[in-house]
Amino acid sequence: MALMSSGEFARASGLSRKALRLYDELNLLRPAEVDPVSQYRRYLPTQLEQARLVAWLRRLGMPLAKIREVSTAPRASAAALLTAYWDQVEAETSARRELAAFLIGYLSGRDIQMQETQGPLAIRYAVQTDIGLRREDNEDAAYAGARLLAVADGMGGHAAGELASAAVIEALRPLDTQVPAGELLNALDHAVRLAARKLSSMVQSDPALSGMGTTLTALLWSGSQLALVHIGDSRAYLVRSGEVFQITNDHTMVQSLLDDGKITAAEVASHPQRSLILRALVAQGNCEPDLELREAQPGDRYLLSSDGLHEVVPAAAIADVLLSVADPDRAAKDLVALAIAEGAPDNVTCIVADVVAQQVPAVAAV
């Protein structure tokens, strides 16, 4: 078969000689022969199709290694490779689109609705907080929205505790938007770090606040994915299939003594260091929260509560309300009432949230 000069091959393929030289250098299309003296490149006419294919694949934005593979494969396998490549591009673009929408919403403070990514689940929630019977301030702070639930129990005395719990809730609030499922943990982690930095700068500008801190237990939804962030001794409970599970571990001295088998469950209530917290969100120190991704199911019920509830109300009484009171608002009010009935020595906060299947437009019955 007669070889074509690079000029002839360029004209026939519609590619420039510069492009052909580049493809040679990138090892995408080697000439059939290179003259040892003149270094002129010569091509076979049968290479024309491959040359055009390389040019098209480059316009598609395909990476070089992939172009090499596709442009030298038999037609049927090339088609299959291209299909797989394009599926991957579309999946990545879709993930980036979600991330971009989330960032636009996050930065503008608006909720960007993306109908096609709306999950099949929604939550019905209610929040109740009460100062209790013995405290002069309510250092608990809470937030409940369509996608974010959070309870924070501030500590540090006087105004400090209130400021700390309010600051962490403020840092989380912008997340009550369409966070892509793949970004849930990142977004929570980022917000917690932001909150810790905020506490630091508050203490720097007012040393009277030093020692302040807050617990944080929060749930963030995306579709059926649920991210949990937890630090301190507030709690999250899950009610599923008629059973109540505590899904957070208290970061307290007594819990770690209990875990190590050094005290028994019966000794917890009377332990002198019962209220000592090992980990909390503080201006300085260990702020590493527990982060966990979970799957939500329709019918699930969640309770987030500050220790003002579970320190005084027995687990069985909490479970009884969660299992028997269908309305989330009624259930949250009943739980707070139980703490009040027990003397409510601390502030008490409860969020009750039910996971429900998203309403779909009804089809007219015939």
Task: Provide the binding-site residues for Mn ion, judged by CB under 5 A.
Answer: 153, 306-308, 346
Name the residue nearer to Mn ion (CB basis): 13 or 306. Answer: 306
Task: Compute the least distance from the CB of residue 290 to Mn ion, in Å.
Answer: 19
Q: How far apart are the C-alpha atoms of 191 and 230, rounded to whole Å? A: 13
Cβ proximity to Mn ion, 6 vs 217, nearer residue: 217
Closest CB to Mn ion among residues 130, 153:
153
Residue closer to Mn ion (CB basis): 47 or 248: 248
Residue (of 144, 166, 272) closest to 212 by Cα position: 166
Q: CA quadruple 258, 264, 267, 272: dihedral positive or negative?
A: negative
- Extract the tokens encoding 8: 């002839």
Residue nearer to Mn ion on the CB measure, 183 or 346: 346
Q: In angstroms, what is the minimal distance from the CB of 134 to Mn ion? A: 12
Measured CA to CA, the distance from residue 193 to residue 186 in angstroms comes to 11
Classified as helix, coil or strand, 292 is: strand
CB of 155 to Mn ion, least distance (A): 8
* Burial class of residue 180 (count of CB atoms within 10 Å of its CB; 0-12, 13-18, 19+): buried
Per-residue tokens: 5:
């000069």
CA–chain centroid gap for 98, Å, is: 13
Least distance from Mn ion to the Cβ atom of residue 243, Å:
26
Residue (119 or 157) nearer to Mn ion, CB: 157
Residue closer to Mn ion, measured from CB, 145 or 161:
161
Q: Which is nearer to Mn ion, 250 or 346 (CB)?
A: 346
Nearer to Mn ion, 31 or 308 (CB): 308
How many CB atoms sit inside 10 A of residue 332's CB? 26
CA distance linking residue 221 with residue 70, whole number of Å: 41
- Of 162 and 346, which has the nearer Cβ to Mn ion? 346
Query: How near is the Cβ of 92 to Mn ion at its closest, in Å?
Result: 45
- How far apart are the C-alpha atoms of 305 and 317, rounded to whole Å? 14
Shortest distance, CB of residue 350 to Mn ion, whole angstroms? 12
Put residue 87 in one of left, alpha, beta given phi > 0 → left and psi -120 to 50 → alpha.
alpha
